[in-house]
Amino acid sequence: MSRNGRGTLGETWGLIRAVAGAMGVTLRNLFRKPVTVHYPDVIRPYPDRFRGLLALTYDPQTGEENCIGCRLCEYICPPQVIKVEMLKAEKRNYAKSFFLELYACEFCELCVQVCPTDAIIMMKSFDLATDDRRELLLDKDRLHQLGLEFPPSWATGERLRAMQAPASKGKEKVVPKEPSE
């Protein structure tokens, strides 16, 4: 047999082995339980510390908005996607307007961490897909609505700060429990 003939035979054999190997992988996976789900018909449970959509909260006791318009979230936000205008009132302050550009959010959770009234939190969902970016510019009403629509994640400003604060002298540090504990 010529050198050229041996080369062609070797290539053919290599091709057969590659196809057989690929078919083997296909066959093995054909009978495996799928790892994907038919979202959104099937929604996987999210972890309790999931960093999802941002939302504003109401006080469950009084029904009042928790946001006092202090703008701390605006100052801390690295990509500067939050804009708050404060409304001064007699007993307490409010957010006159609150805008959050969710399309540019980094989901760093810093706004949640600094909020003194647990007014801004993250939800256990990311279900806000759209082909229109303008829908991801969230105003105050939309942010409050999201807070009622989805289950909240564990983190609040108070919990995150307590977790990260150094223990004070002579006192045992009180760390808030993780949801799974």
Question: Does residue 143 bind ligand SF4 (CB under 6 A)?
Answer: no
Segment lying near ligand SF4 (by CB under 6 A), choices 5-13, 23-31, 112-120, 162-170: 112-120
Segment 66-105, which members bind ligand SF4 (CB under 6 A)?
A: 67-73, 76-79, 81-82, 84, 95, 100, 105
d(CA 21, CA 16) in angstroms, rounded, equals 8
Partnered with residue 55 across adjacent β-strands are: 121
- Would you say 105 and 79 are in contact if contact means Cβ atoms under 8 Å apart? yes
DSSP string covering 49-112: T----EEE-B-TTT--B------HHHHH-TT--EEEEEE--SS--EEEEEEEEGGG-----HHH
- Rounded to a whole number of angstroms, the minimum distance from the CB of residue 85 to ligand SF4 is 10
Segment lying near ligand SF4 (by CB under 6 A), choices 14-22, 28-36, 61-69, 148-156: 61-69
- Rounded to a whole number of angstroms, the minimum distance from the CB of residue 122 to ligand SF4 is 7
Neighbouring C-beta atoms of residue 28, cutoff 10 Å: 9
Contacting positions for ligand SF4 (CB under 6 A): 54, 67-73, 76-79, 81-82, 84, 95, 100, 105-111, 114-115, 117, 119-120
